[in-house]
Amino acid sequence: MSEYIVDQNYSDITYNEEDLNFKEFEGCTFHNCNFSSCSFKALSFIDCVFDRCVFNEARVNHVSFKTVTFKNCHIVDVNFAMCDRIIFEVHFENSTLDFSKFYSLNLSNATFFKCSLVAVDFMDTNLSSLAFNHCDLYRAEFRKANASKADFSTSYNFTIDPGKTKLKKALFARSEVKGLLFKHDIIVS
Task: Note whether residue 79 is domain-resident.
Answer: no
Element (H, E) at 58: none
Q: Which of 93, 127, 147 lies at the terminal end of a domain, its last residue?
A: 93
Domains: count for the chain: 2
Give the Cα separation of 109 and 118 in Å (integer): 21
User: Within this chain, do residues 55 and 120 fall inside the same structural domain, yes or no?
Assistant: no
Look at residue 2 in the predicted model and tell me its pLDDT: 78
| Integer-rounded Cα radius of gyration of the chain | 17
Residue 55 domain boundaries = 1-71+88-93
Look at residue 189 in the predicted model and tell me its pLDDT: 54
Look at residue 1 in the predicted model and tell me its pLDDT: 63
Look at residue 62 in the predicted model and tell me its pLDDT: 82
Task: Note whether residue 143 is domain-resident.
Answer: yes
User: Within this chain, do residues 145 and 106 fall inside the same structural domain, yes or no?
Assistant: yes
DSSP secondary structure letters along 142-177: -TT-B-TT-B-TT-BS----TTTSB-TT-B--GGGT
Task: Note whether residue 80 is domain-resident.
Answer: no
Task: Note whether residue 78 is domain-resident.
Answer: no
Give the Cα separation of 160 and 179 in Å (integer): 6
User: Within this chain, do residues 58 and 113 fall inside the same structural domain, yes or no?
Assistant: no
pTM, two decimals, is 0.92
User: Within this chain, do residues 109 and 66 fall inside the same structural domain, yes or no?
Assistant: no
Task: Note whether residue 51 is domain-resident.
Answer: yes
User: Within this chain, do residues 48 and 107 fall inside the same structural domain, yes or no?
Assistant: no
Average pLDDT for consecutive 10-residue bins of the chain (189 residues)? 92 92 96 93 94 95 94 97 91 98 95 98 97 97 97 95 94 76 55
CATH number for the domain that contains residue 58: 2.160.20.80
DSSP 91: E
Give the Cα separation of 180 and 50 in Å (integer): 34
Task: Note whether residue 161 is domain-resident.
Answer: yes
Task: Note whether residue 83 is domain-resident.
Answer: no
Give the Cα separation of 139 and 162 in Å (integer): 15
Task: Note whether residue 169 is domain-resident.
Answer: yes
Look at residue 175 in the predicted model and tell me its pLDDT: 74
* 8 Å CB contact between 106 and 127: no
